[in-house]
A and B are shown apart, each in its own frame.
Chain A
Amino acid sequence: MMEYRPERILLEKKVESSPLTQRVLQHWTGVPVELVNEAAEIRHYTGKQPTLALIQYKGRFIKPCPGTPRHICCNYLILNIGYNCPLACSYCYLPAYLENPHLITLFANLEDMLGELKRLLASRPTYLMRIGTGEFTDSLIFDQITRLSETLIPLFSHAEGYLLELKTKTSLVDHLLELGPKQRVIISWSLNTSRIIEQEEPLTASLEERLLAAQACQRKGYWIGLHLDPLVHYEGWMEDYSQLLRLTFSYLDPSRIIWISLGGLRFLPELPPLIKERFPHCRIILGELFPGQDKKLRYLQKIRIELYTTLAILIRNYAPQTFIYLCMETPIVWRRSLGWSPQSDRHLARLFAQHFQAVRGTG
């Protein structure tokens, strides 16, 4: 896995003394630091060298996942800890939203973030709410430096009705192993075939590194989530995904895998030109992808159903009880792939809760 080191740190004066800032500056001593008065000053930053910005985030830290129109969504809450990620996976959707791919932003006003989170956790949700930090960055890529999880994980121990999900493509988990209590924390890995990891995610941890890290977490009592996303359709995909699952279940105990999501490769329509520019030899954009009902580009429905059906059958061979769900898919694709479909987004959220209650008793 690549080791990230910024060449420059932009620091908003207001968060100069924040504990997160101090930890970051201590870790990357020697990296030039430039103080800025306002975060707004770096909004249009055009520098081309790897740059880390530490700012005070003034918006809401917790927001519902926007989902996608006419597709079933899983009512997920995003805890936004920063923007962008140095892993630079070719298919990543972040460049479509970010002005500068070289700039990574971390929110250093932790007390505001934690205040908002504590207020939420104090309320009792009507159904199980899953909160994840891995939507706009990798949850663990900077966690050994920021130590954010050390604060987050204990907060969830008594947060009845909430689950914390830390989603990653790294193997940076050593600092998590002795933390606790862990019963409401899921460490999730995005997994893909070795071929896709090598070609499209070359800066991430290898498949075996990820699985070893997941195994270590599982052995220390964490629930594990797996996201087979994006599923890529290429010649030999079936064999490669079979191999991926064989390997996965040789490392992990299926009874401690809380869920597995499947998601076909998809792009915002504006993303392929950006991918072409950043990765001129990227081939996954050359699949047969067409605009769906939400305008995102996806494989033909028939191909997606073929992918999901095959993967679901393979998974059930190893983990018959594990909850499998589809990410951003239409009801017809759910029905044709898994044999059933949630009636609504809320229904899916309730199913998560039911499943969690069920495995909690047995896990």
Chain B
Amino acid sequence: MRERVFKKVALRDIDLSDRQFIFSYPLSPERLYPSIKQIGLICPVLLRRETPPHQVIDGIQRLLALQDLSHEYTEAFVYPDSTLQPLDAFHLTLQQNLHNRTLNPLEKGLALQKLLNQFGIGREEVIRHYMPLLGLPPAEKVLEDYLSLNGLEEEIKLVLVREEFPLPLAHQLARFSPEDRMALFRLARELRLGLNKMRELLRYLEELSLRDAVPIHVLLESQDCQQIIRNQRLTRPQRVEGLRKLLKQKRYPRLSQLEQSYSQAIKRLDLPPHIKIIAPPYFEGEGLTLEARFTDASDLKEIALSLQKIADREEITQLLGCLYNT
């Protein structure tokens, strides 16, 4: 057991702005008001430095609650700074927290950031030793993902903590500019996008942004996108599908044009339901495939007649024209 002193400490002697060892997120002392009002502080806080101002090792939420409730003193274990080095203090609070509760992803991200930047622990050691301690796979990519959470806006961080937003999606959003990130975040919230749908939309948006040199938030604010996103007459899945189609069309204008002209020609041909003319994927190939289903000889004759009728139609040239100039 490390040397420590249990004592009553005046709140004014504690530097509450020193957050060297703190990775709790969010700081919401109001949650503790009822219990403090009812039974006071059950668990003493941990402080460092024998003489004021003391540093907070563990218990910032409790201290802020006491301050808000106009308490003047707290009970604390005080560790002398001569025997408890800063990294030891961080280990102490890390162990204490891991023992008592599960850290949320933001707290894990903050703890990792402090280890790297504040305590100068090497990346490799952080990955090898600390990430498993935090219940994370020891991988560079995972470290990057968690560190990236620190740069997110409060609005995103808070929904992440409440588990109202998928974590992998937050990792994805972290690499965008603040404006683009917030636009994407609002889109994901508005349309309640799952990871796969968001990935597809993101791919289109990123590629369009790079191709046309237009930021993503500007693309999303365009009239045609907004008309779909805000169309309350459509269900959410319909809006998602509408936006997906619009972005795909913008990203692949030639393909979309071919698809449109193909489906228009097919429509105009008005084929009987048991005859199909199928284009190869992406209109890449030697020709079109004709598929016909018949159950008896008279069916077959009828099909032959239908085919004879359509063979000379201009639409056939239009269909083949989607593959090559005829």
Is there contact, CB below 8 Å, between B284 and A292?
Answer: yes
Chain A residue at minimum C-beta to C-beta distance from B210: A286
Q: How far is the CB of B287 from chain A (nearest CB, A)?
A: 8
Residues in B neighbouring A18, C-beta threshold 8 A: none
- Name B62-81 residues within 8 Å CB distance of A: none
A313 within 8 A of B: no
Do B285 and A302 have beta carbons less than 8 Å apart? no
Give the docked Cα–Cα distance between A301 and B283 (Å): 7
B294: Cβ under 8 A from any A Cβ = no
Q: Which residue of B lies closest to A70 (CB)?
A: B285
Residues of B close to A300: CB separation below 8 A? 254-255, 258, 282-284
B325 interface residue (CB < 8 Å to A): yes
A219 CB → nearest B CB, Å:
41
Give A307 Cβ to nearest chain B Cβ, in Å. Answer: 13
CB 8 Å contact bits of B133-150 with A (1 = contact, 0 = none):
000000000000000000
Interface positions, chain B 162-216, Cβ under 8 Å from A, are 207, 210-211
- Which A323-361 residues have C-beta < 8 A from chain B? 330-332, 336
> In the assembly, what is the distance between CA of A51 and CA of B305, in Å?
70
Q: In the complex, what distance in Å separates the CA atom of A298 from the CA atom of B285?
A: 12
- For A291, the chain B residues whose CB sits under 8 A away are 281-282
Chain B contacts for A298, CB-based, 8 A: 284
CB of A290 within 8 A of chain B? yes
Contact with A301, one of B210, B211, B252, B324 (Cβ below 8 angstroms) = B324
Counting contact residues on chain A (CB < 8 A from B), the size range is 10 to 19
Number of B positions contacting A (CB below 8 A): 18
Bound Cα distance from A305 to B282, whole angstroms: 14
* Residue A60, interface by CB 8 Å: no
Chain A residues near B285 (CB-CB < 8 A): 293, 301, 330, 332
- The answer on a CB contact under 8 Å between B211 and A286 is yes
Chain B residues near A293 (CB, 8 Å)?
284-285
Separation of A286 and B211 alpha carbons in the complex (Å): 6
Q: Does A303 contact B (CB under 8 A)?
A: yes
Query: Would you call B270 an interface residue if the criterion is a C-beta within 8 Å of the partner chain's C-beta atoms?
Result: no
Q: A290-B282, A300-B283 are in contact. Are A332 and B324 (CB under 8 A)?
A: yes
Quote the shortest CB–CB distance from A73 to chain B (angstroms): 18
Q: Which of A121-172 touch B at CB < 8 Å? A: none
Minimum C-beta distance from A332 to chain B (A): 5
Flag if B324 contacts A305 (CB, 8 Å). Answer: yes
Q: Check B283–A302 contact: CB distance below 8 A.
A: yes
Of residues B211, B252, B282, which shows the largest number of chain A Cβ atoms within 10 Å of its Cβ? B282
Interface string of B219-242 (1 = CB under 8 A from A): 000000000000000000000000
**Cα–Cα, bound, A18→B165 (Å):** 62
Q: Does chain B have a CB within 8 A of A281?
A: yes
Q: A283-B210, A286-B211, A288-B255 are in contact. Are A301 and B284 (CB under 8 A)?
A: yes
| Cβ 8 A contact of B322, one of A288, A302, A330 | A302
Contact of A302 among B207, B252, B324 (CB under 8 A): B324
Residue B286 at the A interface, CB < 8 A? Answer: yes
User: Within 8 Å CB of B284, what residues of A?
Assistant: 290, 292-293, 298, 300-301
Q: In the complex, what residues of A have CB within 8 A of residue B281's CB?
A: 290-291
Cα of A31 to Cα of B286 in the assembled complex, Å:
55
**B325, A286: Cβ atoms closer than 8 Å:** no
Which residues of chain B (268-326) have a CB below 8 Å from chain A? 281-286, 322-325
Q: Mark B241-267, 1 if CB is under 8 A from A, else 0.
A: 000000000001111001000000000
User: Which A residues are CB-close (under 8 A) to B286?
Assistant: 330-332
Q: Which 6 A-B pairs have the closest CB atoms?
A: A290-B282, A286-B211, A336-B324, A332-B286, A301-B284, A288-B252
Interface residues of B (CB under 8 A from A): 207, 210-211, 252-255, 258, 281-286, 322-325
Can you sample 7 A-B contacts with CB below 8 Å? A286-B210, A288-B253, A288-B255, A291-B281, A292-B282, A301-B283, A330-B285
Given A288-B255, A291-B281, A305-B325, output 18 extra A-B contacts at Cβ < 8 Å: A283-B211, A286-B207, A288-B254, A290-B282, A290-B284, A291-B282, A298-B284, A300-B254, A300-B283, A300-B284, A301-B323, A301-B324, A302-B258, A302-B322, A330-B286, A331-B286, A332-B286, A336-B324
